[in-house]
């Protein structure tokens, strides 16, 4: 009984970090994944981490454990947020393209997040999700949360890192990087559609008898879908680079928040 009373708080802290990670991280956080599956996989992964640890820190048996639980939840949320942010980069790029192509007024409900999503952004998100599963990215996500205990054991000092501003600075830089990646991903199509607008403007000035509003809408859709078909083969390499940046950002977060094992 004494061993159980000492081990249960340690397992509870591990369970808090892993559960909060699966709540936010892509693939596992989808509303289409049953909550019982999320809790179950969190429990079994926590059991693996708990049994693999050679030594366990002494967890105080008082209200201090609430602060420790909050700290572990924050670590899991930050790791999951990095992955979620990189996947939202794809939908942000799709939003930029939809505004130019004219699909911005026809947003659809994304079944993965339950929110309103752009048409092309949702399409690219589905393609990226399939490629992510084909590349065994979900296995790397599991490896990331398990590997985090080498950098951030249960007796970490994340609150100190938060107080000195290093974590907030890293998250802001990561957010700016994701926004820049969204601009880079959408730049070819946005530029081509902008040049199409310029051509339609010249047409309106040189041949006023043509109704540019009637011609422009289908023309921009044809140009946009044609470019999308031409760029489809390159999406695999593009998304693979994005996934590499995502895992590198997770590793950098562990370096900022923890100590090298």
Per-domain residue ranges of the chain: 2-257
Q: Which of 188, 169, 191 is nearest to 232 (CA)?
A: 188
* Phi, psi of 54, deg, nearest 5: -75, -45
pLDDT at residue 118, rounded to an integer: 67
Read off the tokens for 153: 């054991």
The answer to whether 238 and 182 are in contact (CB under 8 A) is no
Whole-angstrom Cα distance, residue 77 to residue 92?
21
DSSP of 138-166: HHHHHHHHHHHHHHS-TT--HHHHHHTTH
pLDDT at residue 106, rounded to an integer: 59
* Phi, psi of 26, deg, nearest 5: -60, 165
CB atoms within 10 A of CB 218: 10
The answer to whether 158 and 74 are in contact (CB under 8 A) is yes
| HSE, side-chain direction, 13 A CA sphere, residue 6 | 7
Encode the chain (261 residues) as per-residue pLDDT tens digits.
566 667 788 888 888 889 999 888 888 887 778 888 888 888 898 888 888 876 666 677 777 888 888 888 888 888 888 888 888 888 888 888 877 777 666 565 555 555 566 677 777 888 888 888 888 888 888 888 888 888 888 877 777 777 777 888 888 888 888 888 888 888 888 888 888 888 888 887 887 777 777 787 788 888 888 888 888 888 888 888 888 888 888 888 888 877 766
Whole-angstrom Cα distance, residue 24 to residue 76?
8
């Amino acid at each position: 009984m004494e061993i159980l009373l000492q081990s249960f708080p340690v397992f509870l802290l591990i369970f808090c970090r892993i559960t909060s990670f699966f709540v936010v991280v892509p693939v596992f956080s989808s509303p289409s994944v049953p909550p019982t599956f999320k809790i179950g996989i969190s429990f079994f992964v926590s059991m693996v981490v708990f049994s693999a640890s050679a030594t366990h820190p002494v967890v105080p048996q008082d209200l201090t454990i609430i602060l420790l639980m909050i700290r572990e939840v924050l670590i899991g949320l930050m790791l999951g947020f990095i992955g979620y942010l990189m996947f939202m980069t794809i939908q942000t790029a799709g939003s930029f393209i939809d505004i130019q192509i004219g699909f911005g007024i026809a947003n659809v409900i994304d079944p993965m997040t339950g929110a309103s999503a752009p048409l092309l952004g949702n399409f690219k998100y589905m393609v990226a999700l399939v490629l992510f599963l084909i590349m065994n990215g979900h296995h790397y996500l599991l490896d990331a949360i398990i590997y985090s205990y080498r950098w951030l054991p249960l007796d970490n000092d994340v609150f100190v890192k938060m107080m000195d501003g290093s974590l907030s600075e890293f998250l802001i830089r990561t957010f700016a990087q994701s926004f820049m990646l969204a601009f880079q991903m959408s730049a070819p199509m946005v530029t081509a559609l902008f040049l199409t607008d310029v051509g339609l403007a010249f047409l309106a000035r040189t041949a006023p008898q043509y109704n540019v509003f009637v011609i422009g809408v289908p023309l921009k859709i044809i140009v946009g879908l044609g470019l999308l078909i031409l760029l489809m083969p390159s999406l695999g390499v593009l998304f693979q680079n994005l996934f590499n940046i995502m895992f590198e950002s997770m590793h950098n977060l562990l370096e900022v928040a923890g100590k090298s094992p």
